[in-house]
């Protein structure tokens, strides 16, 4: 059975803690009474987790590419030293 848009929106608000306390109680009761809704909640949580992981991997790839570009060119040696000095001094 396909989840309704209303249930998807409800679960999204529940996950992101955007519901008033009385609505939270109602959702929790429904989760206990409706195994399919509980499954949908777990699937939705997993989807959000995968999206976050994908975003992190993409960001990591972009940062690695930027690092390779900036620190591989000989013309950027002075710039590299300045940046490293800034980071080293901020770590103290």
Question: Would you call 80 exposed, middle or buried from its count of C-beta atoms within 10 A (0-12, 13-18, 19+)?
Answer: middle
Say what the pLDDT of residue 79 is.
72
User: What residues does each domain of the chain span?
Assistant: 5-91
DSSP 24-57: HHHHHHHHHH-HHHHHHHHHHHHHHHHHHHHHHH
26-82 per-position pLDDT tens digit: 999 999 999 999 999 999 999 999 998 888 888 888 888 877 777 666 556 777 777
pTM of the model: 0.62
């Amino acid at each position: 059975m396909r989840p309704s848009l209303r249930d998807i929106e409800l679960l999204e608000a529940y996950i992101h803690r955007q519901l008033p306390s009385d609505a939270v109680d109602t959702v929790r009761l429904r989760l206990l009474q409706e195994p399919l809704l509980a499954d949908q909640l777990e699937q939705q949580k997993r989807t959000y987790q995968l999206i976050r992981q994908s975003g992190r991997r993409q960001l990591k790839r972009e940062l690695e590419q930027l690092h390779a570009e900036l620190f591989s060119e000989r013309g950027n040696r002075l710039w590299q030293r300045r940046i490293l000095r800034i980071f080293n001094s901020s770590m103290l």
